[in-house]
Structure 1
Amino acid sequence: MAGQVVELVRRIAGGHAQAEVNATHSALALTRFANSYIHQNVTEATDTVTLRLHLDGRTATGSTTVTSDDGLRALVERTLAAARLCPPDPTWPGLAPPAPLGGTAPWDGATAYASPDERAQRVRAFVDAAGGLTTAGYCRTTRLSGAFANSAGQAVSGRTAAAAMDGIARIDGVDGLARLAAPRLAELDGAVLGRRAADKARAGTAPVELPPGRYEVVLEPTAVADVLQNLARYGFGGKAYNERQSFAVLGAEQFDPSVTLVDDALATAALPFDIEGTPRRSVPLVSRGVTRTITHDRQRAAEAGVESTGHASATARYWGPIPLGMRLEPAGSPDSPDPDSAATDPTAAGPNATGSTGADPTGSGPGEVPGPVVDADTARLVSGVRRGLLITDFWYTRVLDPRTLVVTGLTRNGVWLIEDGEVGTAVRDFRFTQSYPQALAPGAVLGLGRHTARQPDSWDSIWWTAPPIRLAAWNFTGGASG
């Protein structure tokens, strides 16, 4: 289909027109539940053909979901008409040359074509494991297949699939959270997630209010994912960097030596090429604390005098070419030494191990304050904290200053006081105002977990991958009372 449109452009506009075409099939299947019942099951599948055309120094883009011969011809004709009316485009970077793909994206047919019953089974397991608490959330599966062709001879295709589950359990107005993404639906265990959410909810009842201030924190992967998203959207993209709106300074030691950030689109649920046909590859953004690379599409790469990293997207005009699901390397990986040397700790358990870092989460006696059950990875980080906070999640985060990436937002779904290496009292939510790069600056990272968890993106099928992380300080500027 993509090649057919390129040929139509050649026949209708002649050989001097440059054309690139994306033909995609996307499908999202979503099973949502609230009040512990499934209330919506929807599937949306769409075929889309997008044409970008450059003619006589002018560029226009058109798209259609009508993929018949007449529909494709109409797409070409109206895009040609639009190009003739557009102003000259001095930023046109030319077409991507022929190049082979660097690899394939994750694909699991059972996930791509999962039935509503298979998603419902995981919802039932989540609800049952919550032990009578009110639950809400979703289980989703996605698939994406696509092909690209241009008049310079580049022609590639690929496919990918993913699954995600996100749910809360609620008691006395307190929510506990469990969230996970995976390339295979079979990797999502609704019972494990339901128990985790319920445990957090029960441990979060009767929270106390603490004064605002700077606290040492342990961020769980659900909170670290927000840090990665904001670093990606406002810092490591070529548009922000070229316009001097980014904090990034190439070659500078801007982060703690334990921090290594990689954008590996082939390891997440994205096609193995971008919308300009450039093959995707692993991009090392930060290596042992040193900022190494910015992501580019062809236009931003031309401005910077470098090559595209394969990050062109339909939203690049606004957001620019941004990373697609970064990964914070865990402690013990070759590029990320752990500042507390826990990578060699023989007692460190795997990501599915659990251990209470506070009192019995079911409550073991009058006057005792329950603490949440956390995995052994998080418990190891908590054990080194004299006084600080365990943070489950951030939400409603907004950037106040893109140059320093100062972000304001709220905690959500669980905050607990850490004292002498143990998690105990639940704490009411805070507002924070914090520079994300400053929070990860040299000397500010006190520990990284040894195991990562995939956290689903809110708007796309990609995920953000991170371990828990212990930070020297986080700036909380307001509490529940203001």
Structure 2
Amino acid sequence: MTELDVAGQVVELVHRLAGPDAQAEVAVTRHDLALTRFANSFIHQNVAESGVSVRLRLHVDGRTAAGGGSLVDADGLHALVERTLAAARLCPPDPAWPGLTPPTAVRSSGLLDEDTAYAEPDARADRVRAFVDAVGGLEAAGYCRTSYRSGAFANSAGHTAQGRTTEAAMDGIARAGGADGVARLCADRLSDLDGATLGARAAGKARAAADPVELPPGRYEVVLEPAAVGDLLQNFSWYGFNGKRYAERQSFAEPGTAQFDPSVTLVDDPLHASALPYDLEGSARRALTLVEAGVTSAVAHDRRSGAEVGTGSTGHGMVGASTFGPIPRNLRLLAAAGPAGRPDGGADVTPGAVADGDTAALVAGMERGLLVSDFWYTRVLDPKSLVITGLTRNGVWLVEDGVPTRAVRDFRFTESYPRALAPGAVLGLGRRPVRQPDRLDGVWWEAPALRLAAWNFTGGASG
């Protein structure tokens, strides 16, 4: 059976077992994921998994429950409906049930690459070898992965949707002594991943990060490379543009207010790459502008949170939305106007702290500041103002008169992410967006390098 056949069969079972008035929505997804990992400059693991998931949400007699399973034979589907129906009868009444998605058109993204969907281990190993060869004898570690998703949705209101998508990603580091350099990229096609380019970038940054000095904490002008900007976008998504947190007044977002610099436009754009064209509730996914020219314009909603505020779903229904809220998971910071160059930011690769010409142009404008490669271990201190604390990693450099002059030991920072991008705080945007992979395939953050007037570093290597 196709995914749509399975979804339709579950809807029929619900009507047979729970009656014609029961409301059901079913999402069926086949997921093929393959991962090639390397460490100490050799491949140590190649794994692949293929599975089908069936998720049912059922509303009957004013009560709602959800269940899932992976068995798609008659017995497995029958058991899924029975246990979900039993759970619904034990749940409290659900007066805020938003109803089912009505029959609507869902357009496919069309982003499917057969070579990526059915990539053999050798194809990923070739990119790992190119990465390792390009680091020139340094230690290398990381992964190359490929993913294929095929899915369908059906509900008892007669709405159906289908889609297929592929994704490839590579994330690697090169190590010179105690210094690491990183390069990562997410793409629609495995052929878009150039292991040699990524390896050369990681190695150049690792060598340039050797023998770092310690600088005092303080507020520094910064250029954040795309990997670091990706952390900003991830936290904006989880805590800022989340419709549930907005409704609970736990978000900084104030639609209609100029909260960001006019150069900032943020768009959640799942059909730009590697996402099924519908969400878990069957709502069509589409580009949603969250910030336009500095003005906050929207937050993400599923059917429940959208009904609460009277705006409807924005196509962000997802597992866990009732607890964590609907999260935009394909966020793009639009690049500055001008020639875009290569989509991976790979043009003009040079050895050293500055990996490409796009970053170099921003660094050249700094009289004194810091070039930051990456953030990690970031944690929220205040969700309302989105004050974040975290650490730098994979390379920090002091910039003087537009030139990186020395490597700097890692900092701890404490910064309000919206304030760092507030009106007047953004001094420059790169022209080459780079898509950063998340730990989960289908989730990514795309941004160019970013120059900011100040970033609050609150601790150094000594405390």
1:325, distance to aligned residue in structure 2 (A)? 1.4
Match of 1:143 among 145, 148, 151: 148
CA contact (8 A) 2:223 2:451 kept: yes
> Could you say which residue in structure 2 is the equivalent of 1:304?
309
Residue 106 to residue 481, structure 1, CA distance change in 2 (3 Å) = same
> Could you say which residue in structure 2 is the equivalent of 1:441?
422
1:153 and 2:134 aligned = no
> Could you say which residue in structure 1 is the equivalent of 2:3?
none
TM superposition score normalised by structure 1: 0.93
Q: How does 1:406-421 map to 2 (within 5 A)?
A: 406-421=387-402
> Could you say which residue in structure 1 is the equivalent of 2:56?
51
Match of 2:199 among 176, 194, 201: 194
Q: How does 1:301-450 map to 2 (within 5 A)?
A: 301-332=306-337, 343=338, 351-354=345-348, 361=351, 371-450=352-431
* CA–CA distance in structure 2, aligned partners of residues 177 and 398 of structure 1: 21
Specify the code of the residue in structure 2 equivalent to 1:16.
D
1:206 and 2:206 aligned = no
Residue 373 to residue 291, structure 1, CA distance change in 2 (3 Å) = closer
* CA–CA distance in structure 2, aligned partners of residues 22 and 349 of structure 1: 39
SS of corresponding position for 1:354: coil
> Could you say which residue in structure 2 is the equivalent of 1:168?
173
* CA–CA distance in structure 2, aligned partners of residues 406 and 244 of structure 1: 15
TM superposition score normalised by structure 2: 0.97
Match of 2:100 among 95, 98, 114: 95
CA contact (8 A) 1:105 1:271 kept: no
* CA–CA distance in structure 1, aligned partners of residues 62 and 50 of structure 2: 36
CA contact (8 A) 1:262 1:285 kept: yes
1:2 and 2:7 aligned = yes
1:374, distance to aligned residue in structure 2 (A)? 2.4
CA contact (8 A) 1:264 1:283 kept: yes
> Could you say which residue in structure 2 is the equivalent of 1:63?
68
SS of corresponding position for 1:392: strand
SS of corresponding position for 2:229: helix
Residue 349 to residue 11, structure 1, CA distance change in 2 (3 Å) = closer
1:268, distance to aligned residue in structure 2 (A)? 2.5
1:104, distance to aligned residue in structure 2 (A)? 1.8
1:286 and 2:291 aligned = yes
Which has the larger displacement, 265-274 or 411-420? 265-274
SS of corresponding position for 1:390: strand
> Could you say which residue in structure 1 is the equivalent of 2:242?
237
1:307, distance to aligned residue in structure 2 (A)? 1.3
1:86, distance to aligned residue in structure 2 (A)? 1.2
> Could you say which residue in structure 2 is the equivalent of 1:459?
440
1:183, distance to aligned residue in structure 2 (A)? 0.3
CA contact (8 A) 1:396 1:410 kept: yes
> Could you say which residue in structure 1 is the equivalent of 2:451?
470
* CA–CA distance in structure 1, aligned partners of residues 379 and 346 of structure 2: 33
SS of corresponding position for 2:130: helix
Specify the code of the residue in structure 2 equivalent to 1:122.
R
* CA–CA distance in structure 1, aligned partners of residues 110 and 382 of structure 2: 35
CA contact (8 A) 2:37 2:43 kept: yes
* CA–CA distance in structure 2, aligned partners of residues 398 and 153 of structure 1: 43
CA contact (8 A) 1:355 1:379 kept: no
1:107, distance to aligned residue in structure 2 (A)? 1.1
Specify the code of the residue in structure 2 equivalent to 1:472.
A
> Could you say which residue in structure 2 is the equivalent of 1:266?
271
Match of 1:276 among 281, 290, 294: 281
* CA–CA distance in structure 2, aligned partners of residues 352 and 64 of structure 1: 42
* CA–CA distance in structure 2, aligned partners of residues 379 and 86 of structure 1: 58
Partner deviation per Cα, 1:15-35 (whole Å, 9 max, x = no partner): 010000011101110000010
CA contact (8 A) 2:108 2:163 kept: no
CA contact (8 A) 2:204 2:355 kept: no
* CA–CA distance in structure 2, aligned partners of residues 320 and 206 of structure 1: 44
SS of corresponding position for 1:161: strand
Which stretches of structure 1, 4 residues or longer, exceed 6 Å deviation after superposition? none
Partner deviation per Cα, 1:326-350 (whole Å, 9 max, x = no partner): 0000111xxxxxxxxxx49xxx976
SS of corresponding position for 1:311: coil
1:353, distance to aligned residue in structure 2 (A)? 2.8
Gaps of 5+ in 1: 333-342, 362-370
CA contact (8 A) 1:264 1:282 kept: yes
Partner deviation per Cα, 1:284-305 (whole Å, 9 max, x = no partner): 0000000001110000001111
Residue 349 to residue 41, structure 1, CA distance change in 2 (3 Å) = closer
* CA–CA distance in structure 2, aligned partners of residues 397 and 373 of structure 1: 24
Specify the code of the residue in structure 2 equivalent to 1:172.
G
1:12, distance to aligned residue in structure 2 (A)? 1.6
1:461, distance to aligned residue in structure 2 (A)? 2.8
Partner deviation per Cα, 1:389-427 (whole Å, 9 max, x = no partner): 000000000010011000000000000010001112000
Partner deviation per Cα, 1:48-69 (whole Å, 9 max, x = no partner): 1111100000011111111101
> Could you say which residue in structure 2 is the equivalent of 1:340?
none
CA contact (8 A) 1:295 1:311 kept: yes
Task: Give % identity.
Answer: 66
Partner deviation per Cα, 1:257-303 (whole Å, 9 max, x = no partner): 00000001111221100010000011000000000011100000011
* CA–CA distance in structure 2, aligned partners of residues 287 and 203 of structure 1: 37
1:355, distance to aligned residue in structure 2 (A)? 6.3
SS of corresponding position for 1:352: coil
